[in-house]
Structure 1
């Protein structure tokens, strides 16, 4: 599908704006500082309103698979998480033509809860023939609030160790689900990419294939456990995450892990997210094709 915000193509957004947004989205700077910096690059043609509309999500414009698509059935299911926050909840999407069982794929959100973009990704996974399960890490504190800024603040206040345990519990829940063929894949974005790397390091015998999009690695002491296969998707302009890659690759090689890395030229962190101006349609589609290919190869 076409990227949103096409009307601004005549007025390219300076790269520093995307870099500042990444710093803001990951808590390096606050919103006041972010907006103040944007003010230094506004022009008559490139207004503050235009910049904010490009950098912040427009979920309605980005939907690729409708929630009422006739090819899927979508519901919400809870799961126990005794080592985490007690109970979790996720968005379960099942192909309508599923006969008995299918491979299952955990779909893991960014650092702001289960927003509409990630729900849409789960529906895309189901349209590709897998059972998709997208947990909402914010469920224990009320769930995704409908606003990314609020969601980001809520997730930032949660106990990280318990939140990670919730995703481990979600992985085990969907792998053992009655619709599962026993094969588990995971795909995640940003924070979700980190969670995929963490799952690969903490439950390597249970994760059959993982695709972290621009995610940082698990704690160094855990990386020796990684078996893979992993398809690591990185964006060339994402300096923050890319700076962690050389050491991570050394550790993957030392562990004898099965992995491959794809670097997407001139792409920003978040290039798969089609709700913002960071979206790179051609490269996002290529990355998604590679993701589905990996799952078909290792989960069938």
Structure 2
């Protein structure tokens, strides 16, 4: 059975858009998975993950968080993002995290290319200021899949997010009491103050070497346990940030394989209405 894919506009006035994948010849509505992008947008990797989840039997949908009214936000155009991503892939994690080292690496590029990448990176590094609006879009996406979209109407919704999307997956769990489950791949966890709002299981996957994110996980796990939040997590030895992305040098095949298997088991648990059947 083939997977059908398409770009869809949605929202009250069609202001949002995203990449949809689903099994082509399944007639009844299916549970859905929101696939939440890295800072690089709904690129080839995120589209591939969306198709993989569709092949597992879900309606999979990746909202394009950098688009509004069918157009990419200035500086977030796909070619500009791809250019910045390719630059990121040429430098080590320590250089990326250090503005001076990052600037030194950029200085070796042609002036026009350097200026374009710098403007795009400035937008990416300021994406935290967009989190309230992005969270509203993600909450709207969940409601649309459950209440409007014919191929997932009335069925459960879960989320799987990476990096920026991992953070948003956790925020969706905070703000959507009907969410069935949230998976966080190397994203910032919700704050302890938000924990009482989470009504669904949460699963997290992290790289040992991704210290900025991973160092905070044990404390969050303890706070989640005290708040009776069902939170399970795995930290992979020798894995960096973005270990699941097979288009980047950070890809860690063993960690990615294990995390994907665990993600599928998690989704089966939270999205199956009758586990006994």
TM range (shorter): 0.7 to 0.9
Q: CA deviation at 1:90?
A: 0.7
Q: CA deviation at 1:230?
A: 1.2
1:136 corresponding residue in structure 2: 64
1:170 corresponding residue in structure 2: 141
1:210 corresponding residue in structure 2: 182
TM-score by length of 2: 0.76
1:187 and 2:160 aligned: yes
CA separation of 1:106 and 1:270: change in aligned 2, threshold 3 A: same
Structure-2 separation of matches of 1:128 and 1:259: 23
SS in structure 1 of the partner of residue 15 of structure 2: strand
Structure-2 separation of matches of 1:88 and 1:154: 19
Aligned residues: 227
State which of 209, 213, 217 in structure 2 corresponds to 1:237.
209
Structure-2 separation of matches of 1:175 and 1:161: 22
Summarize deviations over 1:244-286 as a string: whole Å, max 9, x none.
2133113211221112111111111110000011111122011
2:95 corresponding residue in structure 1: none
Structure-2 separation of matches of 1:278 and 1:178: 38
Structure-2 separation of matches of 1:81 and 1:163: 16
SS in structure 2 of the partner of residue 271 of structure 1: coil
- Unpaired stretches in structure 2, ≥5 consecutive residues: 85-116, 273-277
2:243 corresponding residue in structure 1: 271
State which of 35, 38, 57 in structure 2 corresponds to 1:107.
35
SS in structure 2 of the partner of residue 275 of structure 1: coil
1:96 corresponding residue in structure 2: 24
Summarize deviations over 1:88-123 as a string: whole Å, max 9, x none.
111111112312111100000012321111011101
Summarize deviations over 1:171-221 as a string: whole Å, max 9, x none.
211122211152111101011110111111111x21101111011112442
Structure-2 separation of matches of 1:121 and 1:199: 19
- Unpaired stretches in structure 1, ≥5 consecutive residues: 1-69
2:94 corresponding residue in structure 1: none
SS in structure 2 of the partner of residue 107 of structure 1: strand
TM-score by length of 1: 0.71
Q: CA deviation at 1:72?
A: 0.5
Q: CA deviation at 1:160?
A: 2.5
